Amino acid sequence: MNTADAARLVAWGQEMRSVHRRLVDALDISRESIEAGSPRPSLTDDLQLYCRGFCGALTGHHTAEDDQVFPRVLLERPDLAPAIATLIQDHNMLAHLIRDLERALADSADTAELLRHLDGIEAVMVTHFRFEEKQLVGLLDAMTIPADRTTLYGAIA
């Protein structure tokens, strides 16, 4: 195996960690935009931009994992089916929480309500990321997957 191949083998698990860090950063930006609440007319537009951008990035990441990463993992390690089922359940829960946040944004909810929605998303998301990384990073680091990062991890990759 040459050096380029070895680097590629390590990249998928590390890429997952990198995407997770970017998603946490995007959530932080969304929180800051809500907390900055000011009377300026563009605040609602800013919230829509940051929160919807975060929601879209998280949803796209989870859809890509469900469609691309998890089936490949299960081919390699069918014994991880219970862990994958838990991860998919988390994805579904996060999708529900995101829909609730989007409804709150559409209804012009106050700062406290929007922050409660982000708190709920963050709690599930961070726990999910830890579990997912614990279960999959080592395996992904050892796999050769003929795909690009956005196919596997969504547009945020």
Q: Which domains does the chain have, with CATH numbers?
A: 3-139+146-153 (1.20.120)
Distance CA(50)–CA(30), nearest Å, equals 5
Q: Say whether 19 sits in a helix, a strand or coil.
A: helix
pTM of the model: 0.85
Outline where DSSP puts E strands in 30-119: none
Q: How far is CA 61 from the centre of its chain?
A: 5
For the chain, 157 residues long, give each residue's pLDDT as a single digit of tens: 444 444 444 468 889 999 999 999 989 888 888 887 654 445 556 666 777 888 899 999 999 999 999 999 999 999 999 999 999 999 999 999 999 998 988 888 888 999 999 999 999 999 999 999 999 999 998 888 888 889 989 998 8
